[in-house]
Chain A
Amino acid sequence: MYFLRLVVKNALRHKLRTTLTIVGIVVAISAFGLLRTVIDAWYAGANASSSARLVTRNAVSLVFSLPLTYAQRIRQMPGVTAVSWANWFGGVYVSERNFFPQFAIDAPTYLEIYPEFLLSAEERKAFLTDRQGAIVGRKLALQYGWKTGDQIPLRGTIFPGTWTFNLRGIYDGATKTTAESQMFFHWAYLNESVKKRLPRRGDQIGVLIEQLKDPDQAAAVSQAIDSTFRNSLAETLTETENAFQLGFVSMSEAILLAIQAVSFVVIVIIMAVMANTMAMTARERGSEYATLKALGFGGGFVALLIFGESLLIAAIGGVAGIALTFPLANAFREALGTFFPIFYVSDETVGLQLGAALVVGVVAAIFPAWRASRLPVVEGLRAIA
């Protein structure tokens, strides 16, 4: 018990220095947590995907579409229980800054395949019966202050012109990994207008989504789909929803790697600061440690004292840093709006933060502890700080 008291008393000796060090650790640990959360947010789409869904797109790239007839062909294939489709709309709401994903969907089948978008029965009915209707996620509705019944104008970038939709419902996500910042409207409405203006681009869909009877059949079914359309005008590429989403993530891999590297750099920086603190502390107390040794305490005890102090400071800073991460992440989410549809601090991040704080505490103490434990008594007693 007296050992712990000694450690605490030691840590409190230089109040200013200890406070500054703790503040440094708090900043570093919360920054580390925030950066990890940003990386997690990138992968959120892939993590939220279901293994029982496949996505089929044009093999050349997403810029090319597929003919609508493919949906009927795929629906008859064994192992497929339902088929839906969606087009990326890429509209601009008021100005380019307000980015959020919009999809033209085949609503009845789409909502069935994606049960995680929760709509009340009335809203669902209102959406399905209004050809110009649209639904948006709760978060998106909050951000722009939309209410059911509002009209939302979008300026098309891929489909020219201004498009107006009637907001018929606001959906909630079934879990916190469900993206609540998307907008959906009827593909039939888009197709009808496109056919009138650009007949060549009618009856074309961006991606097909298939629901599988058994997730284990994913590989076999995707192969069957792709071989059906091989050597046709629009060859397909079918992958699991997870792989499809990861494809997007890997495109920004260079940036993600940089953020990841930087999140470790901040830990190294704070390690340098903390090691500096411990080195100074140990140097100043050279004569004290020598006295302890002269009284009969071993070198191990002195080393333990230093480790204890370092770990105590790191732990206080670490816990405070973790506590600060949550309000910070909230503020970050508010500021970024819908840029990251899903943004929350995962348990894994908290674990990593705790681990990082402990590593900082241990590493910072290694050198001073080693030096203090080996310091000859005579030399230590003679030392002045």
Chain B
Amino acid sequence: MRVPFIYIIRNLVARRLTTALTAGGMALVVYVFATVLMLSAGLKATLIATGQDDNVLVIRRGSQTEVQSGIDRMQAGVVESLPDILVGQDGLPLVSKEPVVLINLPKRGSGKPSNVVIRGVTPRGLTLRPQVHIIEGRMFRPGTAEVVAGASIATGFRGAALGETLRFASRDWTVVGVFDAARTGFASEIWGDAEQMMQAFRRVGFSALIFKLTESDRFDAVKQTIESDPRLTLEAKRETRFYADQSEALSTFINYLGTTISVIFSIGAIIGAMITMYASVASRTAEIGTLRALGFSRGSILTAFLGESLLLGLLGGVIGLTGAAFMQALSISTTNFQTFAEIAFRFVLTPGIVAAALLFALAMGFVGGFLPAARAARLKIVDALRAA
């Protein structure tokens, strides 16, 4: 015979303050747990979406990031003439040779400087990244000191909004457009004409080469060709892989920190649940005795109390998740340790995170409720009835 579910719920309602405090503690833990997972998921989503699977990115061997890399024109010429590169509508291979540098810009709110990626692109570079389109103003004209800014940069940094000017490399650059990059890492970059950038920054070489493959599965062959050519000291990566690698350190850091904090916090919340459940058992000793006398088995008493504790956990989990869901409206902008450049990303709530957070909340309820429930189930009928 099972203890009715309504009995469990009404027990929680009867002790409103205690229930609210316990569930509130758990809700905060679940909130922290979920936001951290959302942050790390958001970072991954941003950087993975930045790449296209059939695009290949070439940088100098061992340089890890585009900014540290350098490719001279001779090497670029060799890569450009590879047979597996898709030919564009103008009959030329779809290769973009790009200088990428960092500049220091003050943030709009605090005025504190941070590093922003400046990328010199060519018309072909735009073809290679169909996810980028202008939302305000227009594209820069090649051969001029005009730039376009990613949406996150335009709102986040001084002088980067439409119509404003930025000063770097001894020149003034006018922002003539703002582009949306569909939540990719490009939204945290400023783009200008590649040749203009090369001259302004006095570069003789490019930072990275990006090209499109004729067929996606030719990648291994192309990689082999590039990396075994003695004239080239370069390495090739799929664009998707390249950007995923760049998010690794930051996302691992967020994950480690978040998991450690969640585990420590959950100890506090579990203790809270335990105290509540022990008190619940102690104050209802006579009631438990009555239930047993009525014929409810030890098993059903155990289930009833565990159910109460799980319900507490679930309540906390749902409240915490609801709070965390509101975080999706926010985006966060920070420096990626690996590239040393600013990156903006959002909190992303995935079904996996919802499941993980609810499971976590139920686990807290279970661990916190098990010992008190076992004590309730072990009570002897006679002793329990006498307790009143």
Contacts and interface: CB of A to CB of B under 8 A. Distances in A.
Which of B62, B63, B103, B337 has the most CB atoms of chain A within a 10 A radius of its CB?
B62
Nearest to B338: A96
B22 A272 contact: yes
A31 B29 contact: no
Interface string B309-333: 0000000000000000000000011
Interface of B: 17-18, 21-22, 24-25, 28-29, 31-32, 60-64, 67-68, 101-104, 110, 112-115, 168-170, 201-202, 204, 233, 254, 257, 261, 264-265, 267-269, 271-272, 274-276, 278-279, 283, 332-335, 337, 340, 342
8 contacts: A17-B275, A21-B271, A60-B101, A60-B168, A63-B340, A250-B110, A259-B257, A279-B17
A279 B275 CA distance: 11
Closest 9 pairs (CB-CB, A-B): A251-B335, A273-B272, A254-B334, A24-B271, A276-B21, A272-B25, A250-B112, A61-B104, A31-B264
A24 B272 contact: yes
Given A16-B278, A268-B28, A24 B267 contact: yes
Contact of A276 (B264, B272, B283): B272
Contact of B233 (A90, A160, A269): A160
Given A17-B275, A250-B110, A262-B32, 5 more contacts: A16-B278, A27-B268, A63-B101, A251-B114, A251-B335
Contacts of A60: 101, 103-104, 168-169, 201
A121 interface: no
Contacts of A275: 21
Contacts of B269: 269, 273
Interface string A182-216: 00000000000000000010000000000000000
A63 to B, nearest CB: 5
A266 interface: yes
B331 to A, nearest CB: 10
Contact of A254 (B29, B278, B333): B333
Contact of B18 (A200, A259, A276): A276
A231 interface: yes
Contacts of B68: 90, 157-158
A96 B64 CA distance: 10
A231 B170 contact: yes
Which of A23, A259, A276, A284 has the most CB atoms of chain B within a 10 A radius of its CB?
A276
A87 B67 CA distance: 16
Contact of A253 (B21, B275, B278, B334): B334
Contact of A269 (B29, B168, B275): B29
Contacts of B115: 61-63, 251
A255 B113 CA distance: 16
A153 interface: no
Which of B18, B101, B272 has the most CB atoms of chain A within a 10 A radius of its CB?
B272
Nearest to B368: A20
A31 B333 contact: no
A280 B112 contact: no
Contacts of A277: 275
A233 interface: yes
A272 B22 CA distance: 7
A284 B265 CA distance: 28
Which of A17, A237, A272 has the most CB atoms of chain B within a 10 A radius of its CB?
A272
B272 A280 contact: no
B63 A61 contact: no
Interface residues on A, range: 35 or more
Given A157-B63, A262-B261, A272 B24 contact: yes
Contacts of B29: 269
Contacts of A276: 17-18, 21-22, 25, 272, 275-276
Interface string A20-33: 11011001100100
Interface in A157-195: 157-158, 160
Nearest to A30: B264
Given A251-B115, A262-B32, A276-B21, A284 B283 contact: yes
Contacts of A17: 275, 278-279
Nearest to B111: A250
Contacts of B61: 160
Contacts of B22: 272-273, 276
Interface in A198-252: 200, 231, 233, 235, 237, 247, 250-252
A23 B112 CA distance: 41
B63 A273 contact: no
A158 B63 contact: yes
Given A90-B68, A251-B334, A284-B283, A24 B268 contact: yes
Contact of A280 (B24, B204, B279): B279
A92 B62 CA distance: 9
B24 to A, nearest CB: 5
Contacts of A270: 268
B234 to A, nearest CB: 11
A74 to B, nearest CB: 20
Given A254-B332, A279-B17, A28 B268 contact: yes
A280 B18 contact: yes
A247 B28 CA distance: 32
A237 B25 CA distance: 49
Contacts of B279: 17, 280, 284
A207 to B, nearest CB: 13
Contact of B202 (A35, A59, A157, A233): A233
Contacts of A233: 170, 202
A156 interface: yes
A61 B18 CA distance: 55
A63 B332 CA distance: 24
Nearest to A275: B21
B278 A64 contact: no
Contacts of B113: 247, 250
Contacts of A64: 101, 201
